[in-house]
Amino acid sequence: MNQTLTDISRLVLIGIGIFWLAGCSHNMIQTQLVADIPQDRYVRIIRLDNPEGMPDRTLAGIVHVTGRATVCTDYPREEVIRSLDDLPVMEKKAYAYFGHYAIRDGGEMLGYVSLPIGYQAIIWHNEKDPQCRYKVQIVLPEQSWRRGDYDGIDKSTFSW
């Protein structure tokens, strides 16, 4: 009897967890790759700064906001710039090789995200937060130092 109650309570908790996860999943917006960013006027252009990156990797991304809805990021170092002309020369050259994604919800264009190759963006929709209706979450690529590969050489093939 006691084992049956334990099994039933586990199934109920698993069911509640599944319904909770299903309820959270509708907030994520599918990212759409676009060929290029139009040269429109944007309400804000957010530069995502990575000061710890190599000289050609200091720019972690650009978010172009059209102003139709509030868009923000979760990136710790961001700066609002007037145009892409405000970028340093190295960042302008690196920007030419970025991937561009549309922030689109229900057919309405809300902005664009430009990221270096290897970086990813997850766009969340939160109707309850008027200050940040759409949040762009930046996922950095896995760093070699996180894998223990400090100098780019796989040490597992060496016999010391």
Can you give the pLDDT of all 160 residues of the chain as single tens digits? 667 767 666 665 565 655 555 454 448 888 889 999 998 889 999 999 888 777 667 889 999 999 888 899 988 899 999 999 999 888 899 999 999 999 988 888 999 999 998 889 999 998 888 889 999 998 888 754 444 544 545 555 545 4
Phi, psi of 129 (to 5 degrees): -110, 100
Q: What is the pLDDT of residue 31?
A: 84
pTM for this prediction: 0.70
Annotate 81-117 with three-state secondary structure: ECCHHHCCHHHHHHHCCCEEEEEEECCEEEEEEEECC
- 139, 76 contact by CB (below 8 A): no
